[in-house]
A and B are shown apart, each in its own frame.
Chain A
Amino acid sequence: MSADDPLRVRGLRKTFGDLVALDDVSLDVERGTTSVLLGPSGSGKSTLLRCLNLLEKPDAGTIDLGEGPIEVGGKLTTARVREIRARSTMVFQQFNLFPHLTALGNVTLAPRENRGLSRQAAEQRGRELLEKVGLADKADSYPDRLSGGQQQRVAIARALAMDPDFLLFDEPTSALDPELAAEVVAVLSDLAAEHRTLVVVTHSLAFAKQVADRVLFLEDGKILQDGTPAEFFSSEDERLRRFREVISSV
């Protein structure tokens, strides 16, 4: 076991009734890299991301976070689930900030509850993280008073406060106007440059091109293509070409 071991996912399967959302998906995520999951809607990319955080319960498969494969298909104890979740934190399309807490309150809640951090220690760290996402002056604002881009940046700071090994982003800019999305992409680029491990579900080819170390293309619950952005963007595969065209035309 080593802190440099990749996240290894093997044989992940998830069905919703008759629909096979993930069909035996296996992948490794190298530490310190940014992986982008692309694919048409319904391809299973969000489901894959949510399975990594166990927000969806897979039907079968193993996840190895560096300490040996953990079977995630069977019945998991709460302790097991929390152990796996401790390693990754999700940033959602709709931000999902806690509306009754200030930006700082959102960022400090989990560290205080989970690690028993003192208010002072949590707030100091929280302010640093808010500064990192460019929102030092919004610490005392409630989410309702923030723009979408600001809310998403608070959500990123909130995720960072958990010091996760893996940051998972589920279409983090899809609910934002282009100019607000740019703020969020800038923060993501910073995180990528710091060699944090990011897994990002997105529809933004620009983001994949500029930030990703690796692009995975999913369709019908399977990984169709897995390689560098250059490989993805130059691929002559008919399916990938059509996808690129459709996405760039919107």
Chain B
Amino acid sequence: MPRFLELWIESLPRLLTALVEMTVPLSLLSFAIALVIAVVVALARLYAPAPLKALAWMYVQVFRGTPLVVQLFIVYFGLPGVGIELAAFPAAVITLALNTGAYASEAVRASILSIPRGQFEAAQSLNLSRAATFRKVVAPQAMRIVLPPLANDFIDLVKGTSLVFAITLIDVFQVGRQIAAATYEPLIMYTEVALIYLALVSLLSLGQNQLEKKVSAHVR
């Protein structure tokens, strides 16, 4: 058996454990929170009073305008300086959620803006409340439009979790690093890590296709 296969098989259980115990839950949790942030911020930027609108815009600017790894360092290493001490995992979740939330809010905002004015007018003329208009008219249509860019943001987030090794978390990349250091086989190990990310993202893409089909049932 070639050396690389031997090493891959031998290291796979440890890598998969890190994947299941760190990378996946970190991604899911962060993305779930990011989605909530994205909707709230998008609505604030579209409909809130001016000060709130400005605040939402600033948030997006800050989190899109600075590198994720710097944000991680500020939250984990920096905030204790002002008395906010977070364990590494919550620090990672918060930072990833805020970072992805900034990008995703733009996708959500664009999807709402893309809904024709006539849809809002029809809802108004039928005397639907704003809440009902949003839930029953806007959201279902925006969903179809927002899925592809949102899937992009989720994929970015999954790959972005590989940075959490920098704040002491043991994710799939960090385990790969450890094994690479121990075996002196960086090419083999990092290729394996890359393939694991690729497989995970491919799985997500399949899920995206299924979802897109589901929310596009009404389109010929």
Contacts and interface: CB of A to CB of B under 8 A. Distances in A.
B62 interface: no
B138 to A, nearest CB: 10
B218 A144 contact: yes
B127 A100 contact: no
A89 to B, nearest CB: 6
Q: How large is the interface on B (under 10, 10 to 19, 20 to 34, 35 or more residues)?
A: 20 to 34
Q: How large is the interface on A (under 10, 10 to 19, 20 to 34, 35 or more residues)?
A: 20 to 34
Contacts of B116: 96
A120 interface: no
A92 B118 contact: yes
Interface string A85-128: 11001101010111111100000011001100000000000000
B126 A109 contact: yes
B137 interface: yes
B218 A162 contact: no
B122 A98 contact: yes
Given A113-B136, A144-B219, A98 B127 contact: no
B128 interface: yes
Contact of B124 (A55, A100, A143, A162): A55
B162 interface: no
Nearest to B137: A98
A55 B137 contact: no
Interface of B: 116, 118-119, 121-122, 124-130, 132, 136-137, 140-141, 144, 217-220
Closest 3 CB pairs of A and B: A96-B122, A96-B118, A110-B126
24 contacts: A53-B124, A78-B130, A90-B121, A90-B125, A92-B122, A96-B118, A96-B122, A98-B122, A98-B141, A99-B218, A100-B141, A101-B218, A110-B128, A113-B128, A113-B132, A114-B126, A114-B127, A114-B129, A114-B132, A142-B217, A143-B218, A144-B220, A158-B126, A162-B126
Interface of A: 53-55, 78, 82, 85-86, 89-90, 92, 94, 96-102, 109-110, 113-114, 142-145, 158-159, 162, 168
Given A55-B121, A90-B121, 20 more contacts: A53-B125, A54-B124, A82-B127, A85-B124, A92-B121, A96-B116, A98-B122, A98-B136, A99-B218, A109-B136, A109-B137, A110-B126, A113-B128, A114-B127, A142-B219, A143-B218, A158-B126, A159-B126, A162-B126, A162-B127
